[in-house]
Structures are given as C-alpha cells and as structure tokens.
Amino acid sequence: MLRSLLLALSMLLLSCTPSLAEGWLSNALRDLGSGNLDRILILGAGIVISVLLLFIVFLYLNIVKRRMVELELQRERDLMGSIMETSPMGVIVMDQEGVIVFANDQAARVHGLSRENMIRRKYNDPGWKITAHDGSVFPEERLAFSRVMKIRNAVLDIRHAIHWDDGRRVLLSINASPLFGADGDIQKVVSTVEDITTRKKVEEALKESAYRFRSLVKTAESVIILLSPDRKILEFNRMAEDLFGRTRHEVLGRDFFELFLPERLWGETSRQYATVLSGTPLRLFESNVRIRGGKELTMQWSLSRLLDTTGDSLGVLAVGQDVTERKRFEAELCEARDAAEEANRAKSEFLANMSHEIRTPISAIIGMSEMTLSTGLDDEQQGYLVTVKKAAESLLSIINDILDISKIEARKMELRPEDFDLPDMLEKQMSVLRVQAEEKGIELRTSVSNTVDRCYLGDSLRLGQIIMNLAGNSVKFTDKGYVEISVKRVGEWEEGEILEFTVKDTGIGISEDKAEKLFESFVQLNAGYSKRHPGSGLGLAISRQLVEMMGGSISFSSKVGWGCEFTFTVKLQSSSGPCLKDVVEVVDEEEFGSSIPAHILLAEDNATNQIYISHFLSERGFEIETAENGIEVLDLLENSGPFDVILMDVQMPEMDGLQATKMIRDAGNDIPIIALTAYAMEGDREKFLESGMDAYASKPVNIDELVQIINKFLPAKN
C-alpha cells in the first residue's frame, strides 16, 4: 500500500510541476524581462523533483530492509525462547545484581518452586540453605554468579546443594556465562542448572564398588589375577605376589602363560581360556603353575569373563587357591582309606570265618545234645546234656551279639520289612522267656492295647530281638515280682503307625550314677569278679541302635530296689491280609502234620552236622541222602534221585555250595536249593539268593524252622 501511495504521489508531482513552474516562473521571468530564464528554471525544477523522488525510493527500501531484519530477529528470539523453555537443563538469567529475571520450567523444578516464585529471587536466596555436598557451609565467593562477576568469564560445574521447602536436599551442577553490553560491562549472567543428586549417588556407589573391589583384590586370601583377552596381566594381588615370588610391577603387562604356565599345558589351557572369553565360566578346575625357581604347584582356579560398560570383553578374572598340600593330604587320605577298607574287609572276613568256625561246632553240640536227649537217659544224664545245650546256646547268643554290633558299627545292618502278626511275634518271645521266668518264680505279663492292629509291615525279627533283649534283662535281674510287656499306639506317620513298647520289672533297679553308661557297648553295670549275672554287655547297645533304625527312640527310668521301666517307640507300616494267611498256614501245618514225605539231598561236609540233621529230618518222615562237597552233589543229581529239595552247605571242600548251585542252574535244573550256612554277616543272605539259591537257613539249624522252609517248596504244598 505504501508503495502504491508513493507511486501516485510521484505521478502527481510530475504532472503538476510543469504547470506550476510554467505559470509562476513565466510570470516572474516576464517581469524580470529575461527571455531564456524560463527554460533554466523548468530544467532545475525537474532535477530537484527527480532527486526528491530518488530519496523517497531509497528511504522506502531502507524501511523494508529494516522491517525484514526485525522479523528475523524476532524469529531468532522466539527460537531461543523455545529452546530455553524446552531445554532438559534448567536455564536461569540474572541481572547485574544477581536477581533472577528469567527461569525456565526445568530450572524452577530443580529448585522445588514455580516459575513465578523463581523470578525476582536472588541467586543466593537464604531460603535455599545452600551447602556443600558434605553439608558444610558453601562460601559465597564460590557461587557461580559471584565467580562470573569476579573473573568476567564462564565457570563450569560448580556443585553445591540446596534445600527445598519440604526439607528435601538436592545436589546441583551449575555452568554460568556472562553477557556483555556495548560498554563492555556485564549486563546479564546466564546459567544452566542440572539436578545431579541421583548421578552423584551412582558415582559414589561406583566409587565405593571400585574401592571395595580394589580392597578385596588387595587383601583377599586367594590369588586374584586379572588378565586381558591376549593373556597379559592387568592386576596381580598380594597373595599372587607371595605365591609366585614376583612383585606386581614385575609382571604387569607380561604374558601369564610365558611367566607361570608349564609349556606342556599351553594347548589345553588356551582352549579353556577361549571358552571363558566366550562367556562360559570355569569353576574349580585344577592346573599346575610354575613359580620362581621352577617349582610347580597345583592350583584350583575359578575363571570368569569381565565385561566393560559397552558389553565388550575386558578380560578374565582368575581366582585361585594353592591346593598342593591338600592334594598331598587327599592322596594320603586315600591311602589311609584304602588301608582302612582293606582292614575292614579283613575284619569282615575274619568275623565271617570265625562265625562259621564257631557256629559249626556249636551247631554240632546243640544238635548232638538234642539227639542224645531223645534217647533213653536217666535224669542225671539228661541234666548234664541240658546244661551242655544251654551253654552252647549262651555261647551262640554272645556270638550273635558280637556279629550284630559289628554290623551296626560298619553300617552294614539293614532292616528287612515283611508282613507279620504282632501278637504272634510277642507270643514267640514270651514262650522263650516264660521258661526262664517260671524257673525263677516270677510272673511274666503281656498287655496289648485294643488300639493296636494285628498285622504290620516291618522287621519282626529285629523287633523281637529288641523285646527279647529288654525283657531278657528284666527276667535276669528280677528275683521276685513280675516282668510286664505292654504295647500301645501313640501316634501316626505318613505310612503307618507309631507303637510304644514298655518293659517293666520289679528287679534290682539301676542307680543314677550308672545310668549314663547303660546303652554303651561292652558295658556291664555289675561287672567285676563278684558279678552274678552273665552276659556280653551288648544287648542294650544293639537295642538302641535297632530302635533308631526303626525311626524311634528309647528311654528308661529306674530306682534302686524298685525295678526298671524301659520304653521305646518304633514306626511300623500298616498292613493287612498277608500275615493272616501266614497264621492260617502255620495252624494248618500244626494240624495236619509237620512235613510231607520227600527225597532230600543234604550237602554237608561236617560229619556231625550230617548225622544230627539227617537224624531229625528222618524222624519227620523225609528220605535223606548225603554228600560231602559240590562234586558229589552233581554226581548224585545225575546218577541218583530224583530229589525234591537240596540242602546245600555253602562252605565245602573241592567245590563249594555256590559253585555247585551255579552249575546246577546253568544246566537248566530248577530244583529248590536251600542254603545251610554258618555265615551270618550282613549281605550273606542276599549273596546266596542272588547265586541261584531259593532260601536260607543259618546254623545252628532249628529243625522246626527248617522243616517249614522245606515244606514251602514241596509239590503238594504248592
């Protein structure tokens, strides 16, 4: 519009000027009487007007240019304002007095204020309670504004803390720069503010972590070595210096393999090193190293990869222990263990052989005594033989106790759970003890609670042994009164019931000073030359171990002169059915005869055992043929018979029972074979059954039990 107005004005002046000049100047010149003056005046007026028009155009162009500059400056101011407003850093502008004239939202936020409350505050406002990072007073002259005004230059990373109105403490990092006026004076100070509270905590945590790591490496009681990916030593702690005999400064930057690793191990160790660098740590692997002087030590290492902040491999951290002495000690321990195992094997073999060698003559003594007692003897002779038989049985009991405690100490005693009839098991123990009780004139009582079931799954033989040991002691140490055995249920467990057995007597009792030794092996409380009651001192020790194996505990109470009361608990599994069937079978056997006629081959190298076993089996209606070794057994099987059952002694000359059994089974003969042996160590029974034998009877042989075993394998029974 302005341009159009100037153009119209110019045209108007051009159109008006000739007429004005012609009229006014013509009149003037005419009056002056000059003929050429009019042309001169017209030309001068045209020139003046042209100059004026040029000035007006120049003035217009300057105005337009200035306007464009102002618009550009406005755009830059807007852009700068936008940058300051949206900057993630706090921005503050202060005047020469330190009064805040501008603050963006971020600056207000890190100060815990609104922008309105920030404006017109001074840089050192007391409300901020400016302090150093450690809480001490921050000097005024070190504040960013003060420093800029003093040095007239920018300052960087001035750190101090401020306190918000709510008491929160914030750590700030401030950069500040001066803005100079045309006169060279500072007109404004612009500062950026950043909340570094979190960053400072992270820095301090990293610093603390680094310090701890260095302290750990320095003071650790393990060898710690940091290796670069190319096996150069980066860190070498005090323990490494002591072990390898080299200082840290000697080894830093040198190849670990060349310094300390025997060359024969380079290949394998290089592969392991590459595995660790790939990200798979190695734990507790052993390797030899070479220390100063050439001596080799055995080290146990744990290797793991270290990464830098970008995730690249920084190297390998090796933590090791010198296990040279431990390896030597382990080798000595292995030798000692082997020697102990050999000694234990020798002990087991000795006990097995002694068991066999002692049981065999005891078996003969008991067997021949029973045979002789069945002949026509007078009372005196019978008395002698009964004494002999009891002495042999007593000796057998001691041998059994010694074998049992040896099994327990060697941890070779195992329980054999089977379904059994609890009242029947108790009655069997009572039948043995009842004879002794009647001889002493004492009463033997039993009491079974109606909460106790009839059938259970457990090791009835070992449970009966516990009862026999406790009740046998009570009978032994009671001269008048009674011995009572009671059973009741006291709880349940996940597989069955917990039963409590109590053995109570009115015997001599036990004094408190001797009670603590009661369950120790080979300890007799009445030991000495004046003791009245025989025994090995193993019964209670064995009983305690068996009770614990059955998941229970044993205790006792006693008063001298009033008797003792032993109480123990056992865990038994619930059962029903099978034990009732066994009872029926026993009743049937007793009802319909003790045996079924059968042809039996007895393999026994001991002539005495041959005689008494053959004698009693013949009395039960069996037809017996004998063999003295395995070779004769094979010959009789081939040329005599047929036989229904073989009673096979395990230890025989020329060919033992196990070899003979193997050859019989290899030939495809499935004739029932019952092992007869004086071996009674743990595992013997399983070994015999695994060799192909069908059943097991230990010596001295109980003829009634043997007959029951034989009957199970006879055709009529099956």
Residue 575 phi, psi dihedral angles, 5° rounding: -155, 160
CA pair distance 237, 253, nearest whole angstrom: 14
CA pair distance 101, 119, nearest whole angstrom: 6
In terms of DSSP H, where are the helices of 507-606?
A: 512-515, 539-549, 578-592
Output 50-58 pairs: Cβ under 8 A, ≥24 positions apart: 52/13, 53/10, 53/13, 56/6, 56/9, 56/10, 57/6
CA pair distance 120, 673, nearest whole angstrom: 114
pTM, to two decimals: 0.46
CA pair distance 563, 567, nearest whole angstrom: 14
* Secondary-structure breakdown of the chain: helix, strand, coil percentages, each rounded to the nearest 5: 50, 25, 30
Query: Residue 375: helix, strand or coil by DSSP?
Result: coil
CA pair distance 434, 283, nearest whole angstrom: 67
CA pair distance 286, 151, nearest whole angstrom: 65
Sign of dihedral through CA atoms 396, 399, 405, 406?
negative
CA pair distance 104, 196, nearest whole angstrom: 18
- The per-residue pLDDT for 246 is 92
DSSP 279-333: T--EEEEEEEEE-TTS-EEEEEEEEEEEE-TTS-EEEEEEEEEE-HHHHHHHHHH
- The per-residue pLDDT for 523 is 57
Q: 285 and 276 in contact (C-beta within 8 Å)?
A: no
From 465, 557, 444, 457, select the one nearest 499 (Cα to Cα): 457
Q: 554 and 544 in contact (C-beta within 8 Å)?
A: yes
From 456, 431, 453, select the one nearest 444 (Cα to Cα): 431
User: Of all helices (H) and strands (E), which one includes residue 557?
Assistant: strand 554-559
- Average pLDDT by consecutive 10-residue portion of the chain (718 residues)? 47 49 51 59 80 83 82 70 69 90 86 86 86 86 90 90 85 91 89 86 79 74 90 91 91 92 92 91 90 90 86 88 90 88 74 70 79 81 80 74 69 80 89 85 91 90 89 89 93 92 90 71 49 60 89 89 91 74 44 64 86 86 91 90 89 89 91 81 74 85 86 68
CA pair distance 470, 485, nearest whole angstrom: 10
CA pair distance 555, 540, nearest whole angstrom: 11
| Strand partners for 164 | none
Residue 636 neighbours by CB under 8 Å, 6+ apart: 601, 625, 627, 643
CA pair distance 522, 517, nearest whole angstrom: 10
- The per-residue pLDDT for 627 is 92
Q: 573 and 556 in contact (C-beta within 8 Å)?
A: no
User: Of all helices (H) and strands (E), which one includes residue 471?
Assistant: helix 460-476
Residue 22 DSSP code: I
- The per-residue pLDDT for 400 is 74
Q: 15 and 49 in contact (C-beta within 8 Å)?
A: no
CA pair distance 235, 237, nearest whole angstrom: 7
Q: Quick one: tokens of 565?
A: 């009361």
